[in-house]
């Protein structure tokens, strides 16, 4: 299915940043329209990995957001486990390098073929949306955010990755240098009516989709809302309008 053919409910990923599965499950059951949920480090560790299995039992798709970053063999073996657990999407840090990303993709495809399941999207993280220019320069990236994101995206595409995680602010430059079907997952998405929190490079769901994002990761604007289902429906309506 091409980018333009995806339904709004296939583009929203709700971030389950909770300290316990019981809290996350309550939220998931409040959002029947939402197909994708993100399991990050906090919930994955708190649930001892069971959150992935529980979501699948509820008929949901999982974005396993553990951002693998290690030597190539270790990341390849972690990728095998991500496929075995049934992740629909998982990610690695592009900063781990070409060889690490190549082996992650190869391992994921081999394991999916062995199990007879669809290969998950293997996505590379570029520059975290919590960074601004000053923060990135402290790490020695003097070339700045945009050039760093562009370099990481090109490297990821060359390594066979399916796409990248990037700020909505960098969608245009990624679309300009990568193939049309290269996926872009955008955290740092904040509706105009929601608090910014600790994100630095943000935009609204409507604008992110218009610029070319494939998936939007939204957490606290939905999970911390007085009425999470209403908030999710408002985000889905923005996506629909943008399409």
CB neighbours (10 Å) of residue 181? 10
Euclidean distance between CA atoms 209 and 207, whole angstroms: 5
**Residue 189: strand pairing partners:** 203
Catalytic residues: 67
């Amino acid at each position: 299915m091409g980018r333009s053919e995806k339904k709004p409910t296939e583009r929203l990923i709700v971030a389950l940043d909770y300290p316990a599965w019981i809290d996350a499950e309550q939220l998931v059951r409040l959002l029947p329209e939402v197909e994708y949920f993100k399991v990050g480090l906090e919930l994955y560790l708190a649930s001892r990995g069971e959150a992935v299995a529980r979501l699948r039992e509820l008929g949901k798709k999982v974005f396993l957001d553990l951002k693998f970053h290690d030597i190539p063999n270790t990341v390849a073996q972690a990728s095998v486990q991500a496929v075995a657990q049934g992740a629909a999407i998982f990610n690695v840090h592009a900063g781990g390098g070409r060889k690490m990303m190549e082996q992650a993709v190869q391992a994921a495809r081999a394991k999916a073929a062995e199990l007879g399941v669809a290969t998950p999207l293997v996505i590379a993280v570029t520059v975290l949306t919590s960074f601004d220019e000053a923060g990135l320069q402290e790490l020695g990236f003097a070339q700045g955010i945009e050039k760093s994101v562009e370099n990481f995206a090109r490297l990821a595409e060359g390594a066979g990755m399916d796409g990248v995680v990037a700020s909505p602010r960098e969608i245009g430059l990624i679309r300009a240098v990568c193939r049309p079907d290269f996926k872009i997952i955008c955290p740092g998405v904040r509706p105009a009516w929601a608090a910014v929190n600790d994100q630095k490079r943000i935009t609204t769901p409507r604008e992110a989709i218009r610029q070319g994002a494939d998936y939007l990761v939204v957490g606290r604007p939905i999970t911390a809302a007085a009425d999470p289902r209403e908030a999710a429906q408002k985000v889905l309506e923005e996506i629909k309008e943008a399409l």
